[in-house]
Structure 1
Amino acid sequence: MLIVQLSDSHLSADPARHYRGVDVQKRLGSILADVVRYQPDLVVVSGDVSDDGSVESYQRAAEQLDALGCRWVWLPGNHDHPATMASVRELVPVVHPGGWQIILLNSWIENEEGGRLGEAQLARLRAQLADDDTPTLIVLHHPPVTVESAWMNEIGLEDREAFWAALDQYDHVHAVLCGHIHHERTCLQDRIPVMSVPAIAAQFVPDRPDFAVDNDAPGGFRLIRLSDKDASRPLLSSRVAYVYDD
């Protein structure tokens, strides 16, 4: 089974509006044209679909994602407007593709760049993991780990320690996917891979204390291949595909 992760398209009501110098509407089309070649079973969009929270931006994104011909789900990032997003396509908390469960968490905080899950959502996460020991992926927008960029750590997931405490007693979580940092990154936290994905929009320069945009870096998406439910043990492999502008 093949999952594709997309993130951070930063679309606006005006399709001609660029994001930090990138024609995001054009780039989204190019990336989705490449995604469709892989014939994924599921596409997961990990937030910041929109830059302005407009219904027009969500409608355009949904139309293009529908054209992939496979199931897709999304969750909100800090630039999104969850209620508007949900009016276009439901925000689902969990999906069960091919013998796995994918838990989608909402780390959005109104009018803030950083994220938080909150105790109520963490309680639901613990209950879901306790009730269902299916091999699990967890997806959220804000990275639940520190990175090598001080400015990004200030706007990451505030309650990351509580998040990892919620996972501590469960061994069926096989990876955590996130967006927000606008570049590829993989690390291990408590033996669990935490993987970010290149943005559809502009890429941020990693591993520096202050904010900067890498004007030459391409957008991309992550491919996650999962063993099927009949495998003797769950297996996960992943790689990033980059899509260069014409």
Structure 2
Amino acid sequence: MLLIQLSDSHLKADPAGLYRDVDVQARLSAMLASVSRHQPDLVVFSGDVSDDGSIASYQRVAKQLDALGCPWVWLPGNHDHPATMADVRPLKTVIHLDGWQIILLDSWIDGEEGGRLGEEQLARLETQLADDASPALIVLHHPPVTVDAAWMNEIGLEDRETFWARLDRYDHVHAVLCGHIHHEMTCLHDNVPVMSVPAIAAQFVPDSPDFAVDSHAPGGFRLVRLSIDEAQRPRLSTRVEYLLSKV
């Protein structure tokens, strides 16, 4: 099974609206053309779909994702408006495909840049993992780890320690995907790979102590291949593909 992760398009109601001098609608269209050539089995959009939370921006994205001809899901980032997203396409919490469970978490906090899962959602996560022993991939917007950019850590996932404490009880979580940081990152936390994806919109400088945009860095998406081999062992492989055009 091929899953493709997209993140952080920051669209506006106006299709011509820019995000930090990037034509994000043109960038998204070019990105989805590349995604389509891979014929994914599932597309997961890990937040900040919109920059202004407008229904027009969500409707445009949904129309373009529908045109891929494969299942797709999205989850909210800090710039999104979850209720408006759900009016266009319901927010799912878990997807089952080819023996894997893809668990979608909502780290949105009204009016804040940082994220939080909260006790109720963490309890649901633990129940899901306790009741379903199939290999799991978790997706959320805010990174559940510290990153090299100090300013970004101030707006990361507040309850990440509690998140990892819950996961520590289960050994069938094989990776965590996130967005928010606007660049590619891979690290290990308690032997679980944590991976971010480049933004569709402008990229941030990975190791800057203060907010900084890399105006030359291309956007991209992550390809994740999930399978279970003949010995019933889960297999995961992944890579990032960059959009090298000047869009």
Asked if TM exceeds 0.5, the reply is: yes
Query: 1:244: how far off?
Result: 1.9
Question: Matches of 1:235 and 1:63 in 2, distance apart?
Answer: 32
Name the SS of the counterpart of 2:144 in structure 1. Answer: coil
Query: 1:232: how far off?
Result: 2.8
Aligned twin of 2:90: 90
Query: 1:229: how far off?
Result: 7.0
Query: 1:230: how far off?
Result: 5.3
Contact 1:50–1:58, Cα closer than 8 Å, also in 2: yes
Aligned twin of 1:100: 100
Contact 1:100–1:229, Cα closer than 8 Å, also in 2: no
User: 2:146 aligned with 1:146, yes or no?
Assistant: yes
Which residue type is aligned with residue 218 of structure 1? Answer: P
Query: 1:228: how far off?
Result: 3.9
Aligned twin of 1:199: 199
Instruction: Return 5+ residue gaps in structure 2 as ranges.
Output: none
Contact 2:229–2:235, Cα closer than 8 Å, also in 1: no
Greater shift after overlay, 230-239 or 79-88? 230-239
Cα 1:122–1:229 change in 2 (3 A) is farther
Question: Matches of 1:245 and 1:180 in 2, distance apart?
Answer: 22
Query: 1:183: how far off?
Result: 0.2
Aligned twin of 1:178: 178
Give RMSD over aligned pairs: 0.9
Which residue type is aligned with residue 111 of structure 2? Answer: N
Question: Matches of 2:133 and 2:120 in 1, distance apart?
Answer: 21
Name the SS of the counterpart of 1:175 in structure 2. Answer: strand
Name the SS of the counterpart of 1:96 in structure 2. Answer: strand
Name the SS of the counterpart of 2:19 in structure 1. Answer: coil
Cα 1:13–1:230 change in 2 (3 A) is farther
Query: 1:147: how far off?
Result: 0.5
Contact 2:203–2:214, Cα closer than 8 Å, also in 1: yes
Contact 1:54–1:84, Cα closer than 8 Å, also in 2: yes
Pairing of 1:1-246 with structure 2 (within 5 A): 1-228=1-228, 232-246=232-246
TM-score w.r.t. length of structure 1: 0.99
Residues 105-130 of structure 1 deviation map (CA, whole Å, 9 limit, x = unaligned): 00000000000000000000000000
Which residue type is aligned with residue 196 of structure 1? Answer: S
Query: 1:245: how far off?
Result: 2.5
Question: Matches of 2:184 and 2:44 in 1, distance apart?
Answer: 16
Instruction: Number of aligned residue pairs: give it.
Output: 246
Query: 1:231: how far off?
Result: 5.4
Question: Matched residues, percent identical?
Answer: 76
Question: Matches of 2:92 and 2:231 in 1, distance apart?
Answer: 27
Query: 1:218: how far off?
Result: 0.4
Contact 1:185–1:196, Cα closer than 8 Å, also in 2: yes
Question: Matches of 2:231 and 2:141 in 1, distance apart?
Answer: 30
Question: Matches of 2:195 and 2:238 in 1, distance apart?
Answer: 9
